[in-house]
Amino acid sequence: MEDTRDLAERTPRSERKRRDSFGMFDGYDSCSEESTSSSSSEDSEDEVVPSIPATLPIIKNNGQVYTYPDGKAGMATCEMCGMVGVRDAFYSKTKRFCSVSCSRSYSSNSKKASILARLQVNAPCLRPVPSKSTEPGQIKSCATLFTYTATLHCFLFPPVVPAESFEWGRYICSNNTVGAPVSCFKHAPMGLCWGDVEEGIRIEVLNSDTNLSTKVYWIAEIIKLAGFKALLRYEGFDNDSSKDFWCNLCIPEVHQVGWCASNGKPLVPPKSIQHKYSNWKVFLVKRLTGAKTLPPDFNDKVHENMQFPFKKFMRVEVVDKNYLCRTRVALVEQIIGGRLRLVYEESQDGSDDFWCHMYSPLIHNIGWSRSIGHRFKRSDITKKIDGQVDAPAQLFHKVKEVDQCRDWFKDGMKLEAIDPLNLSAICVATVRKVLADGYLMIGIDGSEAVDGSDWFCYHGTSPSIFPAGFCEINNIELTPPRGYTKLPFKWFDYLRESCSIAAPVRLFNKDVPNHGFRQGMKLEAVDLMEPRLVCVATVTRIVHRLLRIHFDGWEDEYDQWVDCESPDLYPVGWCQLTGYQLQPPASQSNRDMPQSVPKQKKKAQQYKGQKKTEVDEFTFSQGTSDQESNGSGSYYIKQEP
């Protein structure tokens, strides 16, 4: 081994790296080819605890056991929830909060709601709190407690705001931006049949510029498209934009030209321009000759695309939001636009739920966990409710078949992975266990629980895992292991020190679809740290098939790296079309002034019992390797000096 290491050190770096079509470098030297990960039985809920060197300190925080190479001591108290824990495991440089959730809750002014949640324990007893209490947020008397409860009810149970309360059209026009085309979202309604819709086509829509009491229609031209939304101008206004209006093209009142004639509906010109022409029929014939319109079956396709195969009370296996390393049985409770509200089977009141899209990689058919060897939490429920049925396996998203008999991932291999607990970070990670059907259990280096409860499952072809060196080549800030002091982080040094090998580049997904996204495009995106929320968002960076999603009005630390084909991205107007609630951009004043109350609070949920990732020490940096073209050309290749 020493001879091999000396030879590697004497060999120039340019000769030790091999480029391939992925644009990455393969052949990282290793100090050991043996896997150090231990496997465990998946038939029980408890797993074998991996062995830990005696030299590493073991500390406990929030019910989990962690090891940290630097062994920093000291305790801290979270300013948001009041939890006491190990300072080194707390979030941010200042160690003020125990998690990303608490930090975001504090910045979005949810502190009062958290205080009330902690005080609710005292409410039934009606016991006064000692006046000299030093606990932040405690109330000194029961009378004050009742006042607080009444005042803060709106924080804990905010009123439902209709999706139409946010005006996408005005927002796009005021910011001079564009919406991502519907064709970018293959999983969304009409995503596969939007090609005939473009600027310049004519449609028949309701005429709102009239004094008539009955519904009348007029022809309008699409001036601008933004997702499902279109900026329309009635025929006859020419270059006058004073009456332009935004409309969702998938609503029932939008039709192809000729629909009114076929259905006996009146075409009436707007009252503002009725005087312009004495013969409107001649005008329309001239204007519409050679013009395009919607396909005649457009409305039928919209209706067909709004039908979803999942039904209420279907049983599925879904990731346990409290412990990412395992799955649980859940029931489909609600379906909105292909998004499922899943209630865990053991939930007594139905409040223990989880939102995801029906094509999400987080849900599977019953029996999936056992078939691949994934950890699974058994349910104590023995009696099924009426209507319960296991969701058919063909309804779930299919992954690419792989051959694990030949070259494949092995336990202990190093790679880079998007941290599911902090989606703004790509971290140094390790393959902890190889499962069947191409699935892998991944752990974030330096921040793992001893019992593996924060490992997470990615398929080997997942676009969320990358070969060692991907971030360096594409000028993305790589988050090194917590406590690793040799910065800037160098993969060769780390592999040598950890006696490990990097997963070969050839094993990773190299496909780059022609997705159509461009930097600056607007869309509606799920906040995956609080997956019930769909928010106004922007594509701020594109690296091949990887998109950096920014939530408008929020700091960059809440950004998310997602795949271009993620089912958690939707076109502008999707919420209005499906009836889902859209979270508008956060107000700058609301974020900067803790005493003010935003109309909509956007709070990330930290999965219980998981690590707290320190993202602000490794800020995102804009690089020159952003791929604005969407072809399947070679990746950016870093030139050797």
Q: What is the pLDDT of residue 576?
A: 95
Q: What is the pLDDT of residue 120?
A: 37
**Dist CA 408 CA 394 (whole Å):** 26
Q: Quick one: three-class SS letters along 399-434?
A: CCCCCCCCCCCCCCCEEEEEECCEEEEEEEEEEEEE
Name beta bridge partners: 320.
323
**Dist CA 219 CA 254 (whole Å):** 10
**Dist CA 130 CA 381 (whole Å):** 43
Token duo for residue 40: 């465990």
Q: What is the pLDDT of residues 460-477, one digit of tens each?
A: 999 999 999 999 999 999
Report how far apart the first and last C-alpha atoms of the chain are (Å, whole number): 29
Which of 543, 539, 419, 529 shows the shortest CA–CA distance to 481?
419
State which amino acid sits at residue 240.
D
Query: Is residue 335 within 8 Å of 310, Cβ to Cβ?
Result: yes
**Dist CA 592 CA 79 (whole Å):** 17
The owner of tokens 């429920």 is: 381
Cβ burial, residue 285 (10 Å; 0-12/13-18/19+): exposed
Is the entire prediction scored with pTM above 0.75? no
Which of 104, 123, 201 shows the shortest CA–CA distance to 591?
104
Residue 571 in 3-state DSSP? coil
Name beta bridge partners: 229.
226, 248
**Dist CA 507 CA 402 (whole Å):** 10
Instruction: Report the alpha-carbon angle 235-240-246, nearest 5.
Output: 70
Token duo for residue 311: 């039904």
The owner of tokens 């090998």 is: 501
Name beta bridge partners: 549.
539, 560
Separation in Å, CA 628 to CA 8, 226, 542, 625:
37, 19, 7, 9
Token duo for residue 499: 């006696």
Token duo for residue 557: 């630390």
Token duo for residue 227: 């997702």
Q: What is the pLDDT of residue 78?
A: 76
Sign for the CA dihedral angle at 233, 235, 239, 243 comes to negative
Token duo for residue 108: 């979005």
**Dist CA 352 CA 330 (whole Å):** 10
Q: How far, rounded to the nearest angstrom, does the alpha carbon of residue 554 sit from its chain's CA centroid?
A: 15
Token duo for residue 212: 């008539």
Q: What is the pLDDT of residue 111?
A: 39
Query: Is residue 73 within 8 Å of 63, Cβ to Cβ?
Result: no
**Dist CA 485 CA 472 (whole Å):** 18
Q: What is the pLDDT of residue 263?
A: 93
The phi, psi pair for 443, rounded to 5°, reads -125, 145
Token duo for residue 134: 């030093």
Q: Which residues of 550-571 are buried (b: 16+ CB within 10 A; e: fewer)?
A: bbbbbeebbbbbbbbbbbbbbb
**Dist CA 476 CA 492 (whole Å):** 18
Q: What is the pLDDT of residue 2?
A: 47
| pLDDT by 10-residue block (mean), the chain, 641 residues | 48 42 37 40 41 42 43 62 68 70 60 38 32 33 30 33 70 94 96 93 95 93 97 95 95 94 93 93 92 94 96 96 93 96 90 95 96 90 76 93 89 96 95 96 91 92 96 96 92 96 95 95 96 97 97 94 97 96 75 35 38 31 35 35 30
With a CB cutoff of 8 Å and minimum separation 6, the contacts of 279 are none
**Dist CA 342 CA 354 (whole Å):** 5
Name beta bridge partners: 439.
459
Q: Quick one: three-class SS letters along 82-141?
A: CCEEEHHHCECCCCCECCHHHHHHHHCCCHHHHHHHHHCCCCCCCCCCCCCCCCCCCCCC
Q: Which residues of 585-608 are buried (b: 16+ CB within 10 A; e: fewer)?
A: bbeeebbeeeeebbebbbbbbbbe
Query: Is residue 415 within 8 Å of 463, Cβ to Cβ?
Result: no
